[in-house]
Structure 1
Amino acid sequence: MFTETYKLSNGVEIPKVGLGTWLLNDEQAAQAVRDAVSIGYRHVDTAQAYQNEVGVGQAIRSCGVPREELFLTTKVAAEAKSYDAARQSIEESLDKLGLEYMDLLIIHSPQPWMEFREENRYFEENKEVWKAMEDAYRAGKVKAIGLSNFLQDDVENILASCEIKPMVNQVLAHIGNTPSELIEFCQKNDILVEAYSPIAHGAILDHAEVKAMADQYGISVAQLCLRYDLQLGLVVLPKTANPDHMRINAELDFVISDTDMETLKNVETIQNYGEHSFFPVFGGKLK
């Protein structure tokens, strides 16, 4: 899987499988990235909010693989909602990463996390942030720009005034939570959809129906989840610091039948994400 890529609207190629680094500190992230690269991964996803850009950058610079062969994503903090704040955050990310450019830069959320999915949609503010992203793109500081957690009207807001169209929208997408209409809308607009928490942050692993199907294919539930998203045309970003899991997560050379895909699309919505359910992306509220 490591050599398989999608092509973004600007021609940049992005590996279909990447390593997520959420909830890893600098030291853990650095080790995870080094392990992943040695296994064959060439795509790493981080964010300002993860507070591990320093560790990720250290690993990128020291892993022994040429920089141009690696694809690195980071995200502008959800709270940066002005042109100047976004511009400053971009410079801070480059400084922490210790890199001359990022392969993909995305707005982490259309709203600050404390107001996630609330009434204030920050439409005008996001347009300002997008202008800063466009300027960074033109300056060669980033190779591609996109969005994360943007609903259809959030995306339409950017499309209505942008000079450079968003190239990706990274969203929560997994068995038990498939935003089909949003995925279809993005794909129609040549926006690649990326799936974070593609294994439902582990909440799907004990699902009896899904486990039974994985057993039929002779694979793990995690592999079934990742293949499911790939067959929807999505990038998958499984997060792990375990090298064995990294290897298994990339062994996806099988095909889920059309009938089984339809079954998986209709798995009941997952409501409980365990100890991390309080995070806004899982429907919780920060306090």
Structure 2
Amino acid sequence: MSPSKPVEPFGTKLTTKSGNPVYLGTGSGTKWQKIKKARDASLKDTLVDELVDNLVLSVKNGFRHLDTAEIYTTHPEIAEAIKKSGVPREDLFITTKYNPGVDIKPASHKSGAESVDAALKELDVDYIDLFLVHFPFFNDEYSHGQSLEKVWADLIQAKKDGKVRYIGGSNFAIEHLKQVSAIAGGDPNYSAQVNQIEFHPYLQDQSEGIRDYAKENGVLLEAYGPLSPLFRIIDDDGNEVVDHPLKPVIPKLAEKYGKTSAQILLRYTLQKGLLPITTSSQSERQKEALAVYEFALEDDDVKLIDDVGSQFHFRGFFKNLYHTKD
């Protein structure tokens, strides 16, 4: 059996500044954000050494794509890890994200331009490889009068000024991709080149038609949460779902290919045309994640994951914000 196509992500072909292709990324998100928040107030302005060490280990094991966001408050740890890694800046690919304001927490900065400049300072770099709008939801109370139009115009200017290399969105639906494309006058260099979305077999389209639209319009999709079927799944009533359809399927595929369950799902994500963002603090698992480029799933097995996954629905983030049949 031949592997499914595409075996690599469709859309924008990201490279480091030195010209190397960009592979799957390692995140410094929700887990670390919670750890920082839970620390004693006296430690507020100190680094989380555990995160720095984890990032340095990731780079040592081969990761070059580091994903963060201003809402995670992990820019200082990324900066320290870059210095300690010993890898030239131009060989690393750094992603961060503008926070428009969420729940009861206001936007981190008063404009997209201010956000870019603050990130450059906090990351202690001369440029950011990929700058995303974390989500396209703005409101009068928390967004400091900003809108997607205003922030996108700032990102276009930041790219023209050489402060960022690629711009894009996260959690964008088709309407948002069309909106920023219109702001850019249809110029693909200043439209969303990337859209980072929640993706796994239980959520194969975060918003209706997003994968097909991205493929047709050359937008690279990055996938966060690609390993969700391997972790605790909580339903809308707060109850853990113990028996879900893929629970027995993924281990059987792992045995068939001589890989781990995580490798099966990461490889599945790649073969669906998305670039995975994952994370682990264990050295061996980091190496295993990067090894997903060394094998391929058969067509029938990709279809099996598709079909079984479609029997169950799970959305971990941004529930009730899309016009879906959740």
TM score, norm. by length of structure 1: 0.83
| 1:112 Cα offset (Å) | 5.0
Matches within 5 A, 1:1-287: 8=12, 14-22=21-29, 23-24=31-32, 25=36, 26-79=48-101, 85-111=111-137, 125-163=147-185, 164-179=190-205, 181-200=209-228, 202-203=230-231, 207-252=247-292, 253-266=294-307, 267=309, 268-271=311-314, 280-281=317-318, 283=319
Letter in 1 for 2:297: I
Letter in 1 for 2:259: I
Cα shift readout 1:151-179 (whole Å, capped 9, x = no counterpart) = 11111111122141111000011122111
Cα shift readout 1:251-272 (whole Å, capped 9, x = no counterpart) = 2111111111111112133438
Compute the RMSD of aligned alpha carbons: 2.9
Larger radius of gyration: 2
Higher RCO, Cα 8 Å, sep 6+:
2
Q: In terms of mean alpha carbon deviation, does 193-202 or 91-100 score higher?
A: 193-202
Counting matched residue pairs gives 266
Cα shift readout 1:40-88 (whole Å, capped 9, x = no counterpart) = 1111100011111110111112210100000000001132879952111
Distance change >3 Å, CA 195–CA 5, structure 1 → 2: closer
Is the 1:48–1:77 Cα contact (8 Å) retained in structure 2? yes
User: 1 CA distance for matches of 2:199 and 2:115?
Assistant: 27
| 1:149 Cα offset (Å) | 0.2
Distance change >3 Å, CA 197–CA 125, structure 1 → 2: same
TM score, norm. by length of structure 2: 0.74
User: 2 CA distance for matches of 1:189 and 1:106?
Assistant: 18
Task: Specify every segment of 5 or more residues in structure 1 that has no aligned partner in the other structure, as ranges.
Answer: 116-123
User: 1 CA distance for matches of 2:217 and 2:281?
Assistant: 34
Cα shift readout 1:116-166 (whole Å, capped 9, x = no counterpart) = xxxxxxxx9111110010111111111110000001111111112214111
Structure 1 vs Structure 2: percent identity of aligned residues? 26
User: 1 CA distance for matches of 2:90 and 2:202?
Assistant: 36
Letter in 2 for 1:77: N
Letter in 1 for 2:129: D
User: 1 CA distance for matches of 2:51 and 2:98?
Assistant: 18
Letter in 1 for 2:147: E
User: 1 CA distance for matches of 2:92 and 2:14?
Assistant: 18
SS at match of 2:200: coil
| 1:27 Cα offset (Å) | 2.8
SS at match of 2:71: helix
| 1:284 Cα offset (Å) | 8.0
Letter in 1 for 2:172: F
Task: Specify every segment of 5 or more residues in structure 2 that has no aligned partner in the other structure, as ranges.
Answer: 1-7, 37-47, 234-245, 322-326
| 1:102 Cα offset (Å) | 0.5
SS at match of 2:276: strand
SS at match of 1:222: helix
- Structure 1 runs of 4+ aligned residues shifted over 4 Å read 4-7, 9-14, 80-84
User: 1 CA distance for matches of 2:111 and 2:229?
Assistant: 31
Higher helix proportion (structure 1 or 2)? 1
Distance change >3 Å, CA 217–CA 199, structure 1 → 2: same
Is the 1:6–1:15 Cα contact (8 Å) retained in structure 2? no
User: 2 CA distance for matches of 1:221 and 1:9?
Assistant: 27
User: 1 CA distance for matches of 2:151 and 2:229?
Assistant: 29
SS at match of 2:131: strand
Q: In terms of mean alpha carbon deviation, does 232-241 or 9-18 score higher?
A: 9-18
User: 2 CA distance for matches of 1:147 and 1:45?
Assistant: 13
